Amino acid sequence: MFVTYFLLLSSLGLVITTQAQDCSKPAGGDNMGLKGDDILLQTFPEGKKVTFACDVGYVTAGGSPSITCTAGNWTPLKLKCESE
């Protein structure tokens, strides 16, 4: 019986640890790019939050500039940039 519980708990541990996945470099929308040192990275760990900024000549027209790596995918980017 102890062996059964041990195997069950071990299996659950493997499932939990395999869910965390890195994300590839996020693609921004039109007229924007990553801010800070994040522009140098190619992969991003689970839970990493990155921020976008509008390119020169464009201003923020609303929406959040930040997205988060969750289970190997980025949350939706809502930032909108428009020409000045």
- Decide which of 10 and 64 is more confident: 64
Domains of the chain are 20-83 (2.10.70.10)
3-state secondary structure of 55: coil
Span 27-81, pLDDT tens digits = 999 999 999 999 999 999 999 999 999 999 999 999 999 999 999 999 999 999 9
Residue 84 CA: distances (Å) to CA of 22, 53, 57: 36, 14, 6
Contact 1, 22 (CB under 8 A): no
pLDDT score at 20: 82
